Amino acid sequence: MDLDAVRTFVAATDAGRFQDAAAELSITQQAVSKRIATLKKALGVRLFTRIARGVELTIDGQAFLPHARDLLRAEERAVASVRPGRRALRVDVIGRRLAPAAVLRDFYRAHPEYELDVLTLFDADAAIDAIRSGTIDASFRAVPQPGRRLPSDIEAARAFDEPLEILVGPVHELAAARAVTLADLAGRRIWMPGIVPGTEWAAYYDALAAAFGLTIESTGPDFGIEALLDVIADSRSLATFVGELTRLVWPAAQGLRRVIVRDPVPVYPHSLVWQRDNPHPALAALRDHLDSAQPRPSGTWTPAWARSAGHLRTTP
């Protein structure tokens, strides 16, 4: 149904004259008559009858009026649901236990006036497709991946660097260490069954292993984080990497330990990715919030390919 015609019908009803409806809608009286005629033809009934002082509704027009108002209210709700500033900002955080989710919670605490929809997509390719289609507004990803370029309409900028730690059980050889170096980890078994080939996190850990001679295993089925923690807790040789901001909870009896890694500190480079022409005001506020975060520490390592993403403060 032609909503312009419906809007004109309601305006003519309220005004009582086509001339006054035309003035309210900023169109000509001829245009009002044409729209009403279009609606009359679509419905197959007369909506108005002419009287000396203008027009009044027929019986059919009176029956149609409440539904016409409902149509226009539905139109307003539909537009508001996708209008920047009226709808929630939709952000992909990779995983709800991981650092981007924690950073987004900080943003929401600082800006409760903005509504957020938090999603978790599989990898950078899925996130970029969702951004381009308008399904989401932004994503936290380690991009660009080696050998891949971002589409010209997609912007990416380093948002924050997250130091990595190792997680070990109480009987592990490094359980009593306050900190270890990457050299200390060379030759030791680091088990990460969630790594999926072709993803941005696989590219990161491949580069980390190659740079420092680490053995990072992704063999075996991924039964989830709880199963991984069970294995780590009882092992003398297995460790796993976790982000400093990754929120994990385990039973006290497992006695798991987080151990700092340094010299250099391996950091995971989280970038914010968005569509260049996205006007959502909450997206601009999120970028400003990330730009004001703590400065990146010195003495860190991240893959060369991740360094090509500019920083937020240098992004227009």
- At 165 the three-state DSSP class reads strand
- pLDDT of amino acid 77: 79
pLDDT at site 223? 85
Q: How high is the pLDDT of residue 177?
A: 94
Identity of the amino acid at 151: P
Instruction: State if pTM tops 0.85.
Output: no
Q: How many residues does the chain have?
A: 316
**Residue 44: which residues within 8 A CB-CB, separation 6 or more?**
none
Segments of the chain with pLDDT less than 50: 313-316
Q: What is the CA radius of gyration of the chain?
A: 29
Alpha helix ranges (H) inside 149-307 = 182-185, 200-212, 225-234, 281-291
The pLDDT value given to residue 316: 41
pLDDT of 315 reads 43
Residues 174-217 pLDDT 10s: 999 999 999 999 989 999 998 888 899 999 999 999 999 999 99
Domains of the chain with bracketed CATH? 3-82 (1.10.10.10), 89-314 (3.40.190.290)
Please give the DSSP secondary-structure letter assigned to residue 294.
Answer: P
Given this model, what pLDDT does residue 94 score? 87
Which runs of E-coded beta strand occur in the chain? Answer: 48-51, 54-57, 89-92, 116-119, 138-141, 154-168, 179-181, 189-191, 215-217, 238-243, 257-262, 265-275, 300-301
